[in-house]
Amino acid sequence: GEGMREQAALVRSMGPQTLSHDLALVVLLEQLYRVESWRAGHPYHRS
């Protein structure tokens, strides 16, 4: 039978690393927070 990737209409990748679903969600939410903060004019933290 076909694998899940072959059946999927859309496949997203966050890079070559393997993350648990919970950690991947945290990483995604953090990135969304950063972009929304940037769009709202908050200074971008670069350290």
For residue 36, is pLDDT > 90? yes
For residue 14, is pLDDT > 80? no
Q: Which domain holds residue 16?
A: 4-39
Q: What is the pTM of this model?
A: 0.56
Residue 29 near residue 22 (C-beta atoms within 8 A): no
Q: By three-state DSSP, how is residue 30 classified?
A: helix
Q: Which residues contact 28 (CB under 8 A, 6 or more apart)?
A: 14
Q: Is residue 15 part of a domain?
A: yes
Q: Is residue 47 part of a domain?
A: no
User: Which band of pLDDT confidence, cut at 50, 70 and 90, is reported for residue 46?
Assistant: low
Q: How many domains does the chain have?
A: 1
pLDDT at 23: 92
Q: Is residue 46 part of a domain?
A: no
Determine whether 24 is exposed, middle or buried from the number of CB atoms within 10 Å of its CB (0-12, 13-18, 19+): middle
Q: Which amino acid is it at 23?
A: L
Q: Is residue 45 part of a domain?
A: no
Q: Is residue 13 part of a domain?
A: yes
Q: Is residue 27 part of a domain?
A: yes
Q: Is residue 17 part of a domain?
A: yes
Tokens of 30: 């953090």
